[in-house]
């Protein structure tokens, strides 16, 4: 229904009542039904900090120099998580904006080249958006049998026109980590910008490593890595919007700089897409990183991985479905040799489960809002679905 703006407004209570009834149809995280999203219910403390900073505008850093300093500190903490405490960057609107900023910088730094970017076919569609906006041509590189970017294919695809290579640390579909060391060698050999999309994995892999797992190199430890996307509004438990872009050095970030002369706080250079942008997001990320620390996030990641193992064991016990691959992160792909997986997804959705459907598998993401009882319930419904389809 289209609404028109009333001449005289309604009392707050009436609007709130209406709002409550209007929003009833949305899924909620605490229902346990959202098993296909990389977002989650924001941490209570981050909500609290966010609300305290609603009026902060990081687009005008002269007015909000204290909030701007906290953004810098948040970037420092994210940098230290990713082996580079002196990284430059911003808390942005999400992984999409972060990936666009990275390719924007790569394009501007590679002045004389024609504009090709190598991405694995598993890369997030934000790279399609980035390519479209920036006039770049994406070269989609095939995967190996472990669903990682195929290094031989990547090597073959490099030309004098290549301005960037993208590796993913925690793919959207299966949570796979690309071979970043090998990509780095190619990038350094050919003097090409290497961006790592760790929008999801950036808040999981470092803690998995601290918990004793064997984690492949993916961050600034790898010498060729120029920039990394890492999203606090995914496994970082921060309120939306909160993405993160980190650059290895200031020159890379400055390559996308635009001067904004008119601001009340004094002229400045922006190195983001947005002008006016949320200080509350950055301050909430700062507050939450300070509050949870490494220990807090290790707890979150450890719990999600234990629940992921429970889901994996359950799937193995259901005849008719199987795992697409052994999960590296808290992302599970469910496939079937017996049924059309689209029909399985359709039936699960009909039963009220919000799962994601990829071309040959269903994706389940075990985010912090997921409880053991939700997994148990989901496995029962999955088993029932398979039995029903078998007839």
Ligand X SMILES: Cc1ncc(COP(=O)(O)O)c(C=O)c1O
Residues that bind ligand X in the complex, under the rule CB under 6 A:
38, 94-96, 99, 124, 126, 168, 172, 197, 199-200, 231, 243
- Determine contact, residues 194/184, Cβ cutoff 8 Å: yes
Which C-beta is closer to ligand X: that of 36 or that of 61? 36
Residue with the shortest CB distance to ligand X: 95
Between β-strands 193-197 and 162-168, what pairing exists: parallel, antiparallel or unpaired?
parallel
Residue with smaller CB distance to ligand X, 197 or 347? 197
Q: Which is nearer to ligand X, 113 or 129 (CB)?
A: 129
User: In the chain, what's the furthest Cα-to-Cα distance?
Assistant: 70
φ/ψ (deg, to 5) at 176: -85, 150
- 227: closest CA among 201, 204, 250? 250
Going by their DSSP bridges, the two strands 268-270 and 258-260 should be labelled as antiparallel
Count CA atoms closer than 13 A to 16's CA, side-chain side. Answer: 3
Report H helices in 229-278. Answer: 250-254
The C-alpha atoms of residue 264 and residue 267 are separated, in whole angstroms, by: 8
| Shortest Å, Cβ 231 to ligand X | 5
For the bound state, the minimum distance from the C-beta of residue 114 to ligand X, rounded and expressed in Å, comes to 25
- How far is Cα 381 from Cα 391, in angstroms, rounded to an integer? 15
Please give the Cα distance from 178 to 181 (Å, whole number).
9
Q: Which is nearer to ligand X, 116 or 197 (CB)?
A: 197
Tell me the CA distances in angstroms from 389 to 323, 327, 350, 382, 386, one per residue in order. Answer: 18, 26, 14, 11, 5
> Which one, 99 or 255, has the nearer CB to ligand X?
99
Pairing of strands 225-229, 193-197: parallel
Minimum CB–partner distance for residue 234 and ligand X (Å): 7
CB closer to ligand X out of 243 and 368: 243
- Least CB distance from residue 358 to ligand X, whole Å? 12
Nearest approach in angstroms of CB 99 to ligand X is: 6
Q: How far is the CB of 27 from ligand X (least distance, A)?
A: 16
| 96 or 271: CB nearest ligand X | 96
Q: Which is nearer to ligand X, 99 or 184 (CB)?
A: 99
Distance CA 317, CA 383 (A): 9
Q: Minimum CB separation from ligand X for residue 205, in Å?
A: 12
- What is the smallest separation between the CB atom of 342 and ligand X, expressed in angstroms? 21
Distance (Å) of CA 204 to CA 71, 311, 364, 366 = 21, 18, 16, 12
We find the least distance from the C-beta atom of residue 130 to ligand X, in angstroms, to be: 10
323 in helix, strand or coil?
strand
* Alpha helix stretches (DSSP H) within the chain: 12-23, 44-52, 65-81, 95-109, 126-134, 151-157, 180-190, 205-210, 250-254, 279-317, 341-350, 372-390
Nearer to ligand X, 107 or 124 (CB): 124
Closest to ligand X by CB, 172 vs 278, is: 172
| Closest distance of CB 109 from ligand X, Å | 21
**Beta-carbon count within 10 A of 27 CB:** 10
């Amino acid at each position: 229904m289209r609404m028109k703006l009333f001449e005289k407004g309604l009392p707050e209570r009436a609007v709130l009542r209406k709002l409550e009834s209007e929003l009833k149809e949305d899924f909620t995280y605490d229902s346990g039904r959202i098993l296909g999203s990389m977002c989650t219910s924001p941490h209570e403390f981050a909500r609290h900090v966010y609300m305290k900073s609603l009026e902060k505008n990081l687009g005008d850093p002269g007015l909000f120099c204290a909030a701007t300093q906290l953004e810098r500190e948040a970037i420092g903490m994210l940098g230290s998580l990713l082996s580079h405490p002196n990284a430059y960057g911003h808390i942005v609107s999400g992984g999409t904006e972060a990936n666009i900023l990275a390719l924007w910088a790569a394009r501007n730094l590679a002045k004389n080249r024609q504009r090709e970017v190598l991405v694995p076919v598993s890369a997030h569609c934000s790279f399609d958006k980035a390519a479209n906006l920036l006039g770049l041509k994406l070269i989609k590189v095939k995967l190996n049998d472990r669903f990682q970017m195929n290094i031989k294919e990547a090597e073959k695809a490099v030309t004098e026109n290549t301005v960037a290579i993208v590796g993913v640390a925690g793919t959207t579909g299966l949570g796979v980590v690309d071979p970043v060391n090998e990509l780095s060698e190619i990038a350094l050999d050919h003097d090409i910008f290497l961006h790592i999309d760790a929008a999801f994995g950036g808040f999981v892999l470092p803690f998995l490593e601290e918990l004793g797992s064997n984690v492949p190199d993916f961050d600034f430890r790898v010498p060729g890595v120029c920039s990394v996307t890492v999203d606090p509004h995914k496994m970082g438990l921060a309120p939306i919007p909160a993405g993160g872009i980190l650059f290895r050095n200031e020159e890379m970030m400055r390559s996308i700089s635009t001067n904004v002369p008119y601001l009340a706080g004094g002229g400045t250079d922006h190195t983001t897409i947005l002008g006016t942008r949320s200080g509350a997001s950055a301050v909430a990320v700062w507050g939450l990183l300070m509050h949870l620390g490494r220990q807090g996030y290790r707890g979150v990641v450890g719990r999600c991985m234990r629940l992921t193992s429970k889901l994996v064991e359950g799937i193995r016990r259901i005849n008719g479905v199987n795992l697409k691959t052994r999960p590296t992160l808290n992302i599970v792909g469910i496939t079937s040799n017996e049924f059309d997986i689209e029909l399985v997804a359709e039936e699960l959705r009909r039963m009220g489960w919000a799962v994601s459907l990829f071309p040959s598998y269903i994706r389940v993401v075990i985010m912090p809002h997921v409880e053991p009882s939700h997994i148990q319930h989901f496995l029962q419904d999955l088993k029932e679905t398979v039995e029903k389809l078998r007839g």
